[in-house]
Each structure stands twice: as C-alpha cells, then as structure tokens.
Amino acid sequence: QVQLVESGGGLVQPGGSLRISCAASGNILKINAMNWYRQAPGKQRDFVAGISSISSSSSTNYGSSVKGRFTISRDSANNTVYLQMNSLKPEDTAVYYCNLNGRILGGPSFDSWGQGSQVTVST
C-alpha cells in the first residue's frame, strides 16, 4: 500500500504564491512519475504538472495554463513532490490532487492519489 498525504493548500490573493506538497509512504521500491492535477467545481480533472524519474535525470512538463507560473519539484530521498504556484489567478481555484506511480517492494506497480488540497485564489 502506498499512501499520499497532501499539505499546504489555502486561500491566497490574486498575484500571490502558494506551495503545496505531497508525501508518499509505504513499501516503495521506485517512483516513476509524480504528477499534479486539479479539478474546479463542475469541471473535469485536468493535468497541471508532472515530473518523471525514470532515469537519473528528471524531466518536467506543464499544462499550458500554468506554464511559466508553476514549478514542480521533488525530494527523491523523502518521496515528496512539490508544486510552487506563483502569480496565482482566480481561475487557478480548484482542488489539487497529487498522483504518483511506480513499483512497490515485491514487484507490483502502484498508481495512487492524494486526498486533495483546496486552493482558493480570491480577494
């Protein structure tokens, strides 16, 4: 079993910054990719950012609406992924979910989701 615990959501004014994090625990052998998604009320869940760790280096990619404003990073030693959000806009308001996939000890793969963090951008 792999569990993800998110933290850091909250209320921020337009133009402000916020960082959310997601820590994974369990018998993790390897994490292949760490992603962030978000879901606004009445809308589908959309991809926000992702970082892969298949090789010794990592590559990142971002949704078009957040590119240049959001930065995804990871702490591999602690199986934690972060999302730094700058220049926040009201349309960034959503519940943010982390998603990690990889393999656990003994071989089976996993694909787990965090509980969600509410981010509200408003005056």
Evaluate whether 71 touches 84 at the Cβ level (below 8 Å): yes
Q: In 3D, which of 109, 108, 91, 89 has the Cα closest to residue 100?
A: 109
Two tokens at 29?
């052998």
Per-residue confidence (pLDDT) for residue 55, from 0 to 100: 54
What letter does residue 77 receive in the DSSP assignment?
A: G
Per-residue confidence (pLDDT) for residue 25, from 0 to 100: 94
Two tokens at 55?
């090789």
pLDDT band at 90 (very low <50, low <70, confident <90, very high): very high
Can you tell me the distance from the alpha carbon of 86 to that of 88, in angstroms, rounded to the nearest whole number?
5
pLDDT over 90 percentage in the chain: 82
Mean pLDDT of 56-80: 91
pLDDT band at 3 (very low <50, low <70, confident <90, very high): very high
Least confident of 34-38, 56-60, 75-79, 105-109: 56-60
pLDDT band at 77 (very low <50, low <70, confident <90, very high): confident
pLDDT over 70 percentage in the chain: 97
